[in-house]
Amino acid sequence: MKLLVLFGLLPVVFCAGGLMGGKSNIPNPEKNVEIMAATNFALEKLNGLLDSDAKMTNVKIVSAQTQVVSGVNYFLTIRVQYGADVKECNVVVYVQSWTNTNKMTSQNCIDLKASKRSLLGGIVPVDMDADTKKAISFGIENFNQRSNSMFRSQPLKISNVSKQLVAGNLYRFDADMQETQCRKSQDNINKGFADCPPNVKGLRNVCKFTVLQQAWKTPEWTLTDFKCNQGGLLGGDGHDLCHLDHFTKFKTDFNKNYETTQEEKKRFKVFCDNMEIARRIQDVEKGTAKYGPTIFADMTAEEFGLRLNPKPWNLNIRPDNMLDADIPQGQMPTSFDWRDHGAVTAVKNQGSCGSCWAFSTTGNIEGQWAIKKKTLLSLSEQELVDCDKVDQGCNGGLPSQAYEAIMKLGGLETEKEYGYKGYNEKTCFFNKTEVAAKISGSVKISQNEDEIAAWLAKNGPISIGINAFAMQFYMGGISHPWKIFCNPTKLDHGVLIVGYGVEGSEPYWIIKNSWGPNWGEKGYYRVYRGAGVCGLNTMCTSAVVN
């Protein structure tokens, strides 16, 4: 089941309040992805203990608590349908993500008197497990087979998904269907909007599907009912993300000019595809972030990727002389921001060169130099792009390797003396007599986010790697995307943590990016703190300035 796969990937640290090591109540547990994953894992284990072919189904979560130990304990009270009976089970699931440990450590089930609502055959909401996705795909393909259009339709949105246990499984769902630019053919069956862009003048239908699954029959799946009402053209109501007015505003906001009509049409299609991706990220956003038309909204994934490392960073690379950082002990401040203490230069712009690693490195050294020497300097990224022969300039690099290169070169010049070009120059123009800042070593900082915060508050901004998937469309707020969108092991962007804080009940990091001040929150990115979001805690380093 997909939920079980997700369970191994999801964050396992909660900041829900309460005593350290105590249990934390989770409100609205059925809306919490981590709790749902733990519940599905428990249900699978409970069914594995049964002697009969009957299975427990139709889960309702009565209560859920978490306890941070060396990992996380999930204390769950769930009600399940077992034949004609209803059982209430108290289970404990233990997870230790860094060792891929998932196990049910305790379980106790008692029989309850079945109420009318909980009887076998009740309609219940379901998550997107493998069978549910098959039911939806089956319904969509049947819609296309029965449609009179020459072009495929794809769902813009799936909603109101439910499952009913009858003589088989009866799935119901609503789909907002949009005609694409791809003709109906076997080759296009599994293509999404990225490969088959929506036809902005094509038909749009709002449909209700009912699909029956009977595993013992051939065929297994049957479309028992579907009804559609034709909707307006895509964007015709003035609210759709792909409306032409939105694209016009985007062009005005970011001073976008295209040389030909053909190029403008191409960019509009890319914009439409990207706004659909942004909507999907927004739909499952766990924080307060808003995603939408940023300056990069007309770029393809390949074009946007030029600003990132072409290959994910290797988390195992570490120079021999890089030491482990000493973590300060004692209570750390509730919030801290090095921008308020003169240790952060203005937001810079790397352009279309994949030199993020160089900006992350210089940002860290700028902070260390300002704290130790009481002088804030804007240091040269172009020196690293041209002269660091271990890294690959606009084709990517690692801060840990850049520290080594800086020590071998003898230091960094200022931005003024060695200005940024945004491309690989064939010659290194480093002038040792112009060196403005030197470093004596580097340290690797803990992956524990409390320890990262403690080190930052005492010592200065930290160079980090992050998965930048959600950043292309980030407009502001505290970003907390699902791990399925933002794999923490695939770091492809170098940035700088300059502080941390809390907004309401949401703890966050303050991250300086290198995409100019018109991106994000005036060039900054706030990310949820405490769950290893997008791998931001896995490659934290700093230079050492004596």
Coil/strand/helix, residue 119 = coil
| 3-class secondary structure, 283 | helix
Given a contact cutoff of 8 angstroms between Cβ atoms, the answer to whether 513 and 524 are in contact is yes
For residue 493, indicate whether it is catalytic.
yes
Instruction: Determine whether 356 is an active site residue.
Output: yes
What residues contact 301, with CB distance under 8 A and at least 6 apart?
Answer: none
Contact 534, 486 (CB under 8 A): yes
Q: Is 293 helix (H, G, I), strand (E, B) or coil?
A: coil
For tokens 């595993």, name the residue: 215
> Which sign, positive or negative, has the C-alpha torsion 81, 85, 86, 87?
negative
Three-class SS string for 320-349?
CCCEECCCCCCCCCCCEEHHHHCCCCCCCE
Measured CA to CA, the distance from residue 284 to residue 32 in angstroms comes to 11
Residue 74: is it exposed, middle or buried by C-beta count within 10 angstroms (0-12/13-18/19+)?
Answer: buried
- 246 among known catalytic residues: no
Catalytic residue among 243, 246, 480, 493: 493
**Rg of the chain in Å (alpha carbons):** 27
Among 199, 513, 534, 540, the active-site one is: 513
Q: Provide the β-strand partners of residue 65.
A: 25, 75
265 Cβ neighbours under 8 A, 6+ residues apart: none
CA pair distance 253, 295, nearest whole angstrom:
8
Q: If DSSP codes are grouped into helix, strand and coil, which group holds residue 448?
A: coil
**What secondary structure, in 3-state letters, does 181-227 show?**
EEECCHHHCCCCCCCCCECCCCCEEEEEEEEEECCCCCCCEEEEEEE
d(CA 358, CA 535): 19
Which residues are catalytically annotated? 356, 493, 513
